[in-house]
A and B are shown apart, each in its own frame.
Chain A
Amino acid sequence: MAAPTMDRSTTAAPATPVQTLTISKALNMGLRASMEANPKVIMMGEDIGKLGGVFRITDGLQKDFGEQRVLDTPLAESGIIGTAVGLAIRGYRPVCEIQFDGFIFPGFDQIVSQVAKLHYRTQGKIKLPIVIRVPFGGGIGAVEHHSESPESYFAHTAGLKVVSCSNPADAYWMIQQAIDCDDPVLFFEPKRRYYEKGEVDTTAQPGPLFQSRVLRTGTDATLVAYGPMVRTALDAATAAAEDGTSLEVIDLRTLSPLDLVPVFESVRRTGRLVVVSEAPSESSIASEIAAKVQQECFYSLQAPVLRVTGFDTPYPPSKLEEEFLPDLDRVLHAVDRSLAW
């Protein structure tokens, strides 16, 4: 990026490039790196300044970059997105935080009607490099509207790009790549995994943003997941291995555009696919994957594509979320059904 780097002694590079970080800290460091690299990068959201966001993802950024680059906004999501559009037209690269998944809907109109369509409407004369960060998914024992998985709405909308990170290294790099992208990006963060740790090499060259990735190779069946369900899929593969079943695990990473090339390649070898997602299954990303895989891998499939998802209900009271959310047992049950077909 051509923009000048700001000299900030307090934010000097860490002594060692490889650190063990939580997803939340990795996101925080990624945001900081983007703000340092480009003075046009600004943060917008509710309680993201002094408080550092309810999940502390923007912790310390307002203190170091000022109130004009880290905006505590009025409490209205359409306002956050709608003004981000104007700021982007003015040359800024706004990063909007939606406090919880279920609160994105007041901003839905601006996202779908303006953010997604202005580039098309003007045939490229207006670019909107806006990132909309959404902590999403359940499993935290929260009240209603705090545990939802609305990603399919946005993947269904042309003009938007949609990604989800599942680990600290991806969190650190993907948020920076999303900010660098000239298209609007919905960035879904697995909130119940915020405090899971992993190694992050802050000097490594990251792979492309819009690419899925094989995390574990296997031969008997393929598991595809994204965001918070990647951990569940990996745990399932570990458990299955103890029983002698070899599962391949693919982290989708990008939900729009979908990068299914590694999935097709995998299914052609394993012949079996289980898609895991917290979102309800009707007309979902999981459904789209099933449709595309049957189209591309028709003669390789040994069993129908199975989906392990949240149910087609509103998100239930949290005492029922253990039943609602796909877990290791439900994933393995689906694997068994696939293998027994």
Chain B
Amino acid sequence: MSSPEQWTHPEPDAAPAATAAKPTAEQVIAGLRATDEGGADLVQLLTPEGERVTHPDFDIDISAEELRGLYRDMVLIRRVDREANALQRKGQLGIWVPLLGQEAAQIGAGRAMRPTDMAFPSYREHGIAWTRGVHPTELLGIFRGTDQGTWDPVEKRFHPYTIVIGNQVLNAAGYAMGQKFDGKVGDDDGEATMVFFGDGATSQGDVHEGFVWAAVYDAPLVFFCQNNQWAISEPTERQSRLPLYQRARGYGFPGIRVDGNDVLATLAVTRWALDECRHGNGPILIEAFTYRMDAHTTSDDPTRYRLSDELELWKLKDPIERVKVYLVRQQWADQEFFAGVEAEADELAENLREFCVNMPDPPAERIFSNVYAEGNPNLEAQRDEFLDYVSGFAGGEH
């Protein structure tokens, strides 16, 4: 009835499938290389060379001050990321999950949100956390092993990091349904929810169920998929035959592929998507086409599964450099500004380091605290027995 080729071109007039770019299919399938070409549908407003370009559907009117702010965000969060990575290497963190290369995707998406919107992150969303007012020091405990995230998710409207792949997509769909049930959707003051996940998560049942739920309940939910090309060692082609943004069509809502290394395009597309949702036209899928420039985590070794020249290609698409070039070309920023941001980054890193090495270990009671909202007498007895046992050592100290 229909060939697989037709399925990859669901719209007769659409451009060729995006993944039919540079690498041969054999290379991709062998897992040797991910594509670095976003294809004809990629929304881009600032090229890797720092040229402002136009797009027929999306544009953004950005002031010098706003763009300097986005640049600062990206530089600071990259410095946080590099510092945390170094802290892991020094043994101060058990593990770190680098965001290197995904700064524009996260700052662009995060800065598109309003304080009244709600965000559900995966575990690499340090840039989103930054935009929600969660200080980087509040992320460290998760990776040092002292806590599981200390920020107030209700106050910050930033859910705890979710580590089980895809779980948070359903949680976000439910939250967005609640926004709708509460009558908070339908006009300029409406609320919306955004959920963050990666290319690997798109294979999870929970993500598909999240697509279905959000669609049939018209939930104000933006699905923000950061396609960083690699799910640990597996290229995106191991997750999908179809470019990920095209999946949305099958669920009955729009899917947009944006250059995730272009902070302007990401901001413009995400702002549009959130506005659609707050007006009751959700859900929407955004695929931010980006690249994980570092390892999956500090425990990973990407040299075992990908070619280093691929990284070199993506370095030319660096999300921060292109903004710097544009700021200079527009004469929107001078050397004093750049030096100031660097100094601020140095100070932030210093504070992070200082905070990290001084984090106390939690007390033994913490094992037992807040398992239940209304308590459990059996657990309390177990706790008391253990604490009594512990207090028997070293003159009652532990």
Residues of A within 8 A of B (CB): 68, 73-74, 76, 78-79, 81-92, 106, 109-110, 113-114, 118-127, 129, 158-159, 161, 181-183, 256-258
Q: How far is the CB of A14 from the nearest CB of chain B, in Å?
A: 31
Contacts of B179 in A (CB 8 A): 90
A86 engages B209 (CB within 8 Å):
no
B175 engages A79 (CB within 8 Å):
no
- Contacts A113-B167, A119-B373, A183-B372 aside, 9 further interface pairs with beta carbons under 8 A come to A76-B209, A79-B173, A84-B174, A86-B171, A86-B178, A89-B178, A121-B149, A158-B379, A258-B378
Residues of B within 8 A of A (CB): 120, 147-150, 152-154, 159-160, 162, 164, 167, 169-179, 181-182, 205-206, 209-210, 212-213, 216, 369-374, 376-379
B206 engages A86 (CB within 8 Å):
no
B205 engages A182 (CB within 8 Å):
no
A68 engages B181 (CB within 8 Å):
yes
Contacts of B371 in A (CB 8 A): 119-120, 158-159
Cα of A78 to Cα of B204 in the assembled complex, Å: 11
Residue of A nearest to B120 (CB): A86
Residue of B nearest to A128 (CB): B373
Which of B176, B205, B212 contacts A86, CB < 8 Å? Answer: B176
A82 in contact with B206 given A114-B167, A124-B373, A183-B373 (CB within 8 Å): yes
Q: How far is the CB of A293 from the nearest CB of chain B, in Å?
A: 14
Which of A91, A110, A119, A256 contacts B206, CB < 8 Å? Answer: A110
A sample of 17 inter-chain contacts (CB < 8 A) reads A68-B181, A74-B212, A76-B209, A78-B209, A79-B173, A82-B206, A83-B177, A85-B174, A86-B177, A87-B175, A88-B174, A89-B159, A119-B372, A121-B149, A124-B370, A126-B154, A258-B378
Contacts of A121 in B (CB 8 A): 148-149, 160
Which of B175, B216, B369, B373 contacts A89, CB < 8 Å? Answer: B175
Cα of A45 to Cα of B212 in the assembled complex, Å: 15
Cα of A89 to Cα of B376 in the assembled complex, Å: 22
A181 engages B178 (CB within 8 Å):
no
Residue of A nearest to B378 (CB): A257
Residue of B nearest to A89 (CB): B175
Most chain-B CB neighbours within 10 Å: which of A86, A90, A109, A161?
A86
B160 engages A122 (CB within 8 Å):
yes
A83 engages B370 (CB within 8 Å):
no
B212 engages A76 (CB within 8 Å):
yes
B174 engages A123 (CB within 8 Å):
no
Cα of A159 to Cα of B372 in the assembled complex, Å: 6
A82 engages B154 (CB within 8 Å):
no
Contacts of B178 in A (CB 8 A): 86-87, 89-92
B181 engages A83 (CB within 8 Å):
no
Which of A79, A114, A120, A126 contacts B153, CB < 8 Å? Answer: A126
Contacts of A106 in B (CB 8 A): 205
B149 engages A161 (CB within 8 Å):
no
Q: How far is the CB of A225 from the nearest CB of chain B, in Å?
A: 20
Please name the 5 residue pairs, one residue from A and one from B, whose CB atoms are nearest each other, closest first.
Answer: A86-B174, A82-B170, A90-B178, A83-B174, A86-B175
A83 engages B170 (CB within 8 Å):
yes
A257 engages B210 (CB within 8 Å):
no
Cα of A114 to Cα of B174 in the assembled complex, Å: 13
B374 engages A123 (CB within 8 Å):
no
Most chain-B CB neighbours within 10 Å: which of A113, A125, A183?
A125
B171 engages A79 (CB within 8 Å):
no
Contacts of B176 in A (CB 8 A): 86
Contacts of A123 in B (CB 8 A): 147, 150, 369-370
